[in-house]
Each structure stands twice: as C-alpha cells, then as structure tokens.
Amino acid sequence: MKQVNIGIIGGGLMGREAAGAFGRWFTLNDFPVKAALTAVCDLSEQVLSWYKSVPTVKLLTTDYKKLLADPDIDVVYVALPHNLHKEFYLEVLAAGKDLLGEKPFGIDLEDAMAIKDAVKAHDRFVRCSSEMPFLPGPQRVIKEIQSGRLGQIIEIKAGFLHSSDMDPSKPINWKRQMKFCGEIGVMGDLGMHVLHVPLRLGWKPETVYAQLQGIFTERPDGKGGVAACDTWNNATLNTQVDIDGHKVPMTLETKRIAPGETNTWYIEVLGTKGGVKYSTKDTKTLWTFKLDGEEQLWQRTDLGFKGVPFSTITGGIFEPGFSDCFMQMLAAYVAERAGELRDRFGCVTPEEAVASHCVFAAALKSQANQTVEKVIYL
C-alpha cells in the first residue's frame, strides 16, 4: 500500500488535532493510502515536546526550512496564524510539496489570490481545511437538496457560532488582533466553514449586506494591562444567490459572541415542497420537512455514524464528533490526492477559498458604506 508522509508547520490546537487523526488512520476501513505524520515544526519547544509521544514523528524542529528540505515529506499541513499563511503556503509549494492549508487561506483576498496563483504555477495538489460538512448530517442535507425533493428553494440560512469570547476577562490572543487575523476578523475564522456547502452547491452570493459587530473592543493583555481587540467579533451577512433563475435570500452568520453556543455549525434550506435542517447542537439529528395533505411535518431522523464519506470501524449507531469529521476531512484530502475520491465529498478547493474571500471583501465594503454590495469574483 502506498504511504503518504505528512509534515506539520504550526503544532498548536489544530496541529495536535491532525496528529490525533493520523495516529488512528488504521481505523479507516479499506482505505487505499497509509498516512504517517513524520515531522513537526513549531517555534515553541513546549509545543514540540508534546509530539515526542507520536511514534511516527522523526523530525521535531523550530526551523521550517529543515522540514521543507526533507525529501521524504509529501504533504505539509500548515496551521499558523493568518498573517503567516501566504508566506508559508508559497514556501511549501516552492519546495515541491503538496499542501493542506488552513482557512482562511491568506489574511485577505490579495493573499488568497497570490496563493491560488502559486498553486497553479507549481501545479501542486492543494486544499483548504473545513471539516464540519464531513459529518453525516451535512452530507444528508446535501443529498436532500440534490434530490430535488425541496421543490423551488426559497430560503437558506447557515452559520457557525462560538461563545468562547463571552467572557470579557479572557486575555487577548492572535485570533482577536487585526494584524494577525486580518480585517475580516471572525469571517476569516469561521466564514469558510459556513460557505463550504453553499459554494459546493453552486450558491455563490451575488450581493451582500453586512452587519459587523465589534462588541468587546479591549481585552486583558495577560501582563496586567489592556490590549485593543480590534477585529470584528460577530458578522451577519445578508446575501442573495441565484438558484435556477430565482433570487433567493441566504443569511450567513459567523459569531464569536453567540450566547450559549460552543461550536455550533448549522444549515437550513427551505423550499416550496420540502425543507431540511441540521445543527451540530444536536449532532446526530436530521430534520426534514414535507407536506402531507393538509399536514405540514418536520420529521426527525436519528443518523448515528452512518453516512460519513469514509467508512471506519465505528459502529453505525454511534455518535460522531469533532475529531471524527476532522479525520474524515483528512481522509478526503489523501483520497482525492491519490485519485480515489470517486463521488465522495471533497475538501475546499483554492478556487472556493478565494470565492469566500471575495464575499468577505464585499462584506467589509458593505459595512464601511452601509450599502448592499455586489460580490466581485476574481
């Protein structure tokens, strides 16, 4: 069996999540490619020391150039702050490696375009991270929409909600500072996750009216002082898409200050004949709507684990979670890279990542001018 060797640059929260998924790769049933995490780069020795317990890791380094010079590494997963995406993604490509980049795939539209151009110039296999649609619920939502059972689609709502910033005494970190995470703020953090399914279904916002909120504008700096929290914390994008010649409202919410929501990803699509909705708040439940004579029925289906794109040893009745969809996403990356994706759902493409940035750029304009803005796709 072929083996793909992976290196990680940025071994923090998401680096460790990826290490966990590669560490249980053998739980994927009949998967055509082995995957092994062999090298990790991080500036922090403390972060690196965590990886000493990962048996496949041969190289731990604070110098990413050492990792990129390793001829045995095929793919690099880069999980760094947003201001570093362009520089590191371009270096990975120039080193002749394939890339799994983190969202938002560059701090702004200009950087995302530069990355997309470099992908083409180097002709490498590149995808961007967004894992929630790999859960069985979103997969069923997609199938319901594609079945035509909804009739004419009349409304779409999708969002990703966090409450991690509800506590104003939480110290500042790079994710809350514009110079590290960009002017797009929370849209860069959560927006790609929200747009992955709509864009894959061909629902590209034509116009956007944005309501962006700062809410907490200062946070403790962790050294006894106060630091500016100068990014947008919450974003509500009122967009319009064209579906089969009909103009349809699509609301996209990305929020860091959403009371009671730890990591809630949801999508709801309503049509003239049916509807479908799913939220990770109720992880294994799919809701479908139908008309039955004079009755209007919302029907609840318990999904369990069945319906993930890549079968694993986990039984069909068991509940899926975050680490499962993250592993499914990595499996989709490795399978597609090997030409084995078939008709299964794939990771975000560079074109989709750039399209998300086009929406965010128009949203910033809309907020500044208090106007409805046309989204210009580059």
Ligand X SMILES: NC(=O)c1ccc[n+]([C@@H]2O[C@H](COP(=O)([O-])OP(=O)(O)OC[C@H]3O[C@@H](n4cnc5c(N)ncnc54)[C@H](O)[C@@H]3O)[C@@H](O)[C@H]2O)c1
Binding site for ligand X (CB under 6 A): 9-14, 41-44, 47, 64, 79-82, 84, 102-103, 129, 131, 189
| Measured distance CA(303)–CA(283) in Å, rounded | 9
What's the token pair of residue 321? 């979670």
Q: Which residue lies nearer to ligand X by CB, 183 or 206?
A: 183
Q: Which residue lies nearer to ligand X by CB, 130 or 288?
A: 130
* Minimum separation from the CB atom of position 188 to ligand X (A): 7
Q: Which residue lies nearer to ligand X by CB, 62 or 152?
A: 62
Length of the chain: 378
* Minimum separation from the CB atom of position 100 to ligand X (A): 10
**Any residues with CB less than 8 A from the CB of 39 and at least 6 apart, and which?**
5, 6, 7, 8, 57, 58, 59, 60, 61, 67, 70, 73
| Measured distance CA(114)–CA(324) in Å, rounded | 32
* Minimum separation from the CB atom of position 152 to ligand X (A): 33
Q: Which residue lies nearer to ligand X by CB, 49 or 146?
A: 49
* Minimum separation from the CB atom of position 80 to ligand X (A): 5
Nearest residue to ligand X, by Cβ distance, number only: 12
**Residue 210: Cβ within 10 Å count:** 26
Q: Which residue lies nearer to ligand X by CB, 18 or 36?
A: 18
In angstroms, what is the C-alpha Rg of the chain? 21
| Measured distance CA(72)–CA(37) in Å, rounded | 11
Q: Which residue lies nearer to ligand X by CB, 188 or 275?
A: 188
Separate counts of helices (H) and strands (E) for the chain:
10, 17
* Minimum separation from the CB atom of position 254 to ligand X (A): 12
Q: Which residue lies nearer to ligand X by CB, 263 or 371?
A: 263
* Minimum separation from the CB atom of position 96 to ligand X (A): 20
DSSP-derived pairing of the beta strands 246-255 and 153-161: parallel
| Measured distance CA(101)–CA(350) in Å, rounded | 9
Q: Which residue lies nearer to ligand X by CB, 102 or 336?
A: 102
* Minimum separation from the CB atom of position 83 to ligand X (A): 9
Q: Are 324 and 135 in contact (CB under 8 A)?
A: yes
* Minimum separation from the CB atom of position 265 to ligand X (A): 9
Q: Are 210 and 237 in contact (CB under 8 A)?
A: yes
Q: Which residue lies nearer to ligand X by CB, 243 or 257?
A: 257
| Measured distance CA(315)–CA(85) in Å, rounded | 38
| Measured distance CA(282)–CA(310) in Å, rounded | 21
**Any residues with CB less than 8 A from the CB of 148 and at least 6 apart, and which?**
none
* Minimum separation from the CB atom of position 174 to ligand X (A): 6
